[in-house]
Each structure stands twice: as C-alpha cells, then as structure tokens.
Structure 1
C-alpha cells in the first residue's frame, strides 16, 4: 500500500497499491466496494469533500464514473486540490485545515502514507 485516505464522512477508505490499483473500502465492514487499475503508481490520494473524486499525485479521478468499470479511468490534469477540514498537503510538507497551512512537518516526519478521520490525522 502506497497511500490511504478516509472520505470526509469517514464511511469509506481508499487505498492505492504498488500494483497500480486503487481499492475503495467500506470503513465499518472492511468490505471492498470497488477496485480499479490506474496503470501508474499513486503516492498520494485524498477524497474531495463530496467523496466523488480522488485527488492524486497524477490528477483527479472521478470515482462515480468508474462504478463497475475495471478499465483505466479518465484522469484530469494534476492540480493543487482544495480540501475542507483537516488534511495533509499534496506534497506532504504541511498539515492543513481548509487548505490553510497549520503545521510544517520537518523532513524526518513527512509521511509516505497518511489518513484523516475527523480531527485525527495518521501519518507514517
């Protein structure tokens, strides 16, 4: 696993893997709801506030458009995502709130994976 992210309502978890796939999980049951191949490695993923898109290091993925589709998704151009609530910046240098920088992370504390649920952020 290269990256994980909770949806803003904490009902789903997305995980990116070394095999270039993304899995969407039901956070309460642990059931895999969706798996799709990206064809490229993902190092950072985050749900947008609606839970319909994943912001990644290679662009934004429309999850709803992929329902039942194991094929490569349409990925829009990379852009700096705007987050609501607590999150980690796309470059993993800052802990942010509503896209405002709160806490700078020294290089030895910058995570390879992170997840946010409510007011808790896990980095590792």
Structure 2
C-alpha cells in the first residue's frame, strides 16, 4: 500500500466493529513496524533527507541528531525483538469525550508486563 490507501488503512476504525479503535491502533503499529524494518535493513533510508524532512513534520522529539543516529545505527538489531501489548478498558463518555477506563486488574497486568520486560 502507498499514500492515500495506506493512510485510510491506518485511520479506519468504523468497519472493524469487533476491535474498533483498538484495531486502528494495531494497524498503526503494524505499519510503523514495517517502516522500521525497511529502514533498519537499509541505513541510508533513515538518513535520506526527504525521509528526515517527512519525519520532522510529523514527530516532535527532544533527541539530538547524534542521539537519533545512535539509535538508528546501534539498535537496529532490536527491530527483530519488538513486543507489543495493549491496555484494554471499557468505553465511557466523560464531558462529551470518549474515554477508556482501565480496571485495576488491567493496570496491574500491564505493570507486571513492564516490570518483567525491564529485568
């Protein structure tokens, strides 16, 4: 997929009634992983000025250029070891905004996952 078709894919949430917004988040993660895999297989992709210009218009970071290069070059091997998880809550409308409320058991589960990953 490219361009408008890819953008529609990552933004869609109404036809995926089983997963709704969670499905949209999973599709966005899928695309980000694919972009990282492509960039990781060819370091010149990461340092392409057009690519950097596009990123800089869509990402806000306080990383210096040297830190960005360090991450891109020295942590490429980590691309094969990405693990994803997703907190799941129950939907509620609060002050006209759709919110996900997380149960204490879900917070505890995610805390445990993070604790184990950081060991």
- What's the TM-score, normalizing by structure 2? 0.22
Which gives a bigger RCO, structure 1 or 2 (Cα 8 Å, sep 6+)?
1
Bigger proportion of residues as strand: 1
Q: Which structure would you say has the larger Rg?
A: 2
Bigger proportion of residues as helix: 2
- What's the TM-score, normalizing by structure 1? 0.22
